[in-house]
């Protein structure tokens, strides 16, 4: 597997575009430099799969996308940022109008499109601006790397950087490519967060198999991210597979399945870590790896508790080697374990530090601890000594800026 440039336009037959249409111009000061409307389109129909928020309160674009992808087919995705169209007046009507406008501009049918929205909740979406913006958006569709980047920028809300990747792998003697763009910064919690992700691939794969695979891979990537404990109303991850790589279609388990699975997992894990590291106001990506557990599920429960803990997150912000907060978090996680068997280490590019052994503190150099925990990426390594299973979950530190951003999010 090789990482390449190009994002969602790297696979054969995919084009993308992003531009400013003024989604928020009706209730905030115009920001013409901010792209807020994006489209990703395949030249041919695709096998399609999707996973969605588990929040009982689902935005109308999510419900419409679930309906459109129920038959495992789609050809494009239309996305806006700035308004989530969730719990909003005329929500379903306006979600359908987005699909209708995308279809009209591309000569397709409304059901050929997944519809994704992100942004403020409870405010009627500026559908007129979107409908006006879609024709020039469709006209701008291109298979260039810049077009993928434009789309990635257009779906950002409080994100500070684009989240884009592409990889290639050989399947059945053919080079298969996967590309992705994603957004996510706050309201992020396991079972997906306020995130959108579009994955494109030219691999030929059965739609039902792709759906099963996506659900499993999401459970091991996006569902292992937590920024603030809130689960959004709009989470959507869509995969479009158009088969233009001309590999023998993947229809079941085997070597080809395994290769594609690992490629999809690599793409989604990359995006998951990008989202965790770009948590609202975040200064550090924090990974908790629990190893030596009796089962992966147990390790996941414990690792999630650590990266979710506000006190652990504050300690990471202050570069404070407060390992007791780690032990506290795994203790209330609900997992059963012997505290006397626990070892905790902090790791980063600056070094590694043992801070807890056999469930008790050990003497360590505070200057070394400060150096290790001042890095941009930190790993909290918890070892249980009870089995061979392990799991990593991702989060970030909790900073002053998180409160600032969410204190005036509506504006």
CATH of the domain at 229: 3.60.70.12
pLDDT at residue 192 above 50?
no
How much is the average pLDDT of 85-94? Answer: 95
Number of domains in the chain: 2
How much is the average pLDDT of 221-232? Answer: 69
pLDDT at residue 391 above 70?
yes
Q: pLDDT tens-digit profile of 148-157?
A: 999 999 999 8
CATH of the domain at 336: 3.10.20.340
| Pair 393, 254 in one domain | no
3-state secondary structure string, the chain?
CEEECCHHHCCCCEEEEEECCCCCCCCCCCCCCCCCEEEEEEEEEEEEEEEECCCCCCCHHHHHHHHHCCCCEEEEEEEEEEECCCCCCCHHHHHHHHHHHHHHHHCCCHHHEEEEEEEECCCCCCHHHHHHHHHHHHHCCECCHHHHHHHHHHCCCCCCCCEEEEEEEEECCEEEEEEEEEECCCCCCCCCCCCEEEEEECCCECHHHHHHHHHHHHHCCHHHECCCCCCCCCCEEEEEECCCCCCCCECCCCHHHHHHHHHHHHHHHHHHHHHHHCCCCCCCEEEEEEEEECCHHHHHHHHHHHHHCHHHHHHHHCCCCCHHHHHHHHHCCCCCCCHHHCEEEEEECCEEEEEEECCEECCCCHHHHHHHHCCCEEEEEEECCCCCEEEEEEEECCCHHHHHHHHCCCC
The structure's pTM equals: 0.86
Residue 190 pLDDT: 42
How much is the average pLDDT of 261-271? Answer: 97
How much is the average pLDDT of 322-332? Answer: 95
pLDDT at residue 229 above 60?
no
Q: Which domain holds residue 197?
A: 2-277
| Pair 158, 221 in one domain | yes
| Catalytic position from the list 53, 106, 194, 226 | 194
Higher pLDDT, 101 or 277: 101
Residue 230 — pLDDT band, cuts 50, 70, 90?
Answer: very low
Residue 339 pLDDT: 94
Residue 264 pLDDT: 98
| Pair 48, 181 in one domain | yes
- Of 244, 277, 310, the last residue of a domain is 277
Q: pLDDT tens-digit profile of 341-354?
A: 999 999 999 999 99
| Pair 157, 84 in one domain | yes
pLDDT at residue 189 above 80?
no
| Pair 40, 173 in one domain | yes
| Pair 251, 372 in one domain | no
Residue 276 pLDDT: 81
| Pair 310, 342 in one domain | yes
Residue 282 pLDDT: 63
- Known catalytic residue: 194? yes
How much is the average pLDDT of 114-126? Answer: 92
| Pair 309, 378 in one domain | yes
- Of 259, 277, 295, the last residue of a domain is 277
| Pair 325, 182 in one domain | no
| Pair 200, 71 in one domain | yes
| Pair 143, 41 in one domain | yes
Average pLDDT over the chain, rounded to whole? 91
Least confident of 225-229, 301-305, 306-310, 363-367: 225-229
Residue 176 pLDDT: 98
Residue 400 pLDDT: 66
| Pair 298, 238 in one domain | no
């Amino acid at each position: 597997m090789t990482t390449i440039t190009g994002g969602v336009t790297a696979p054969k037959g995919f084009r993308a575009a992003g531009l400013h249409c003024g989604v928020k111009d009706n209730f905030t000061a115009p920001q013409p430099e901010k792209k807020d409307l994006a489209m990703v389109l395949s030249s041919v129909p695709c096998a399609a799969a999707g996973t969605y928020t588990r929040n009982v309160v689902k935005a109308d674009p999510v419900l419409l996308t679930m309906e459109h992808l129920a038959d495992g087919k789609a050809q494009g995705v239309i996305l806006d940022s700035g308004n989530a169209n969730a719990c909003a007046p005329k929500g379903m009507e306006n979600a359908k109008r987005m699909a209708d406008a995308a279809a009209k501009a591309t000569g397709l049918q409304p059901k050929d499109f997944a519809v994704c929205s992100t942004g403020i909740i409870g405010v009627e979406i500026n559908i007129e601006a979107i409908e006006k913006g879609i024709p020039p958006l469709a006209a701008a569709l291109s298979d260039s790397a810049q077009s993928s980047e434009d789309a990635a920028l257009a779906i950002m809300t409080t994100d500070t950087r684009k989240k884009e990747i592409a990889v290639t792998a050989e399947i059945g003697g053919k080079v298969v490519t996967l590309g992705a763009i994603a957004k996510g910064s706050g309201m992020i919690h396991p079972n997906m967060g306020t995130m959108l992700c579009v994955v494109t691939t030219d691999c030929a794969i059965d739609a039902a198999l792709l759906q099963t695979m996506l659900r499993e891979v999401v459970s091991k990537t996006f569902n292992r991210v937590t920024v603030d404990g809130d689960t959004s109303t709009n989470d959507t991850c869509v995969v479009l597979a158009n088969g233009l790589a001309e590999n023998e279609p993947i229809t079941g388990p085997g070597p080809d399945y395994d290769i594609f699975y690992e490629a999809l997992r690599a793409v989604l894990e990359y995006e998951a870590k990008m989202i965790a590291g770009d948590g609202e106001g975040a200064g550090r990506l924090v990974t908790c790896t629990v190893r030596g557990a009796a089962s992966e599920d147990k390790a996941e429960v414990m690792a999630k508790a650590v990266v979710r803990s506000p006190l652990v997150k504050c300690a990471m912000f202050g570069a404070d080697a407060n390992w007791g907060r780690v032990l506290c978090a795994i203790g209330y996680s609900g997992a059963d374990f012997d505290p006397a068997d626990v070892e905790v280490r902090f790791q980063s590019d600056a070094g590694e530090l043992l801070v807890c052994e056999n469930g008790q503190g050990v003497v360590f150099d505070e200057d070394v601890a400060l150096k290790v925990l001042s890095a941009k990426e930190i790993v909290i390594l918890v070892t249980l000594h009870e089995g061979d299973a392990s799991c990593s979950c991702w989060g970030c530190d909790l900073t002053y800026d998180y409160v600032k951003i969410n204190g005036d999010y509506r504006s």
